[in-house]
Amino acid sequence: MKLVIATPLAIVLEAEEVRSVRARDETGSFGILPGHADFLTVLPVSVLAWRDAAGDEHYVALRGGVFEVQGGQNVSVASPEAICGDDLPRLENDVLEAYQRRQDEERAAHSDTERMGLSAVKHIFEHLRPRQGGLT
């Protein structure tokens, strides 16, 4: 199989002759072998594992993303951020924690932005609402 992992800025990994891929989505862990049916899922912040032709295992920390299998031979992942490494404990501890922290910060910032937008709309409606007791 061929495995390609891309971020908006770069192709992080392009590996030929991949024996297997393991990943996790909201339903749990899953494995992909050559000949797998077409498949599409969303990945959380997690570590993807893959084995090369020699049977050596490699890892990629992902800040979420979209995982796709096409034609049983092409596996691709699109992620906002990805870091390759062979030190699984480091990837799981340091990198995933940083990814999760950034994702939480982005969600908080998004919520704050939505709250500010709703507050602005509320103030506009209050300003436009006809005043009680006639014109002033």
Tokens of residue 80, six digits = 């906002």
From the options 2.60.15.10, 2.30.290.10, 3.20.190.10, 2.60.120.890, give the CATH code of 2-125.
2.60.15.10
- Please indicate, yes or no, whether the overall pTM of this predicted structure exceeds 0.85: no
Q: Kindly report, residue by residue over 42-64, the tens digit of the pLDDT.
A: 999 899 999 999 999 999 999 89
Q: Kindly report, residue by residue over 65-82, the tens digit of the pLDDT.
A: 999 999 999 999 999 989
Which are the contacts of 22, defined by CB distance < 8 A and separation ≥ 6?
Answer: 29, 30, 31, 32, 48, 49, 50
Q: Where are the domains of the chain?
A: 2-125
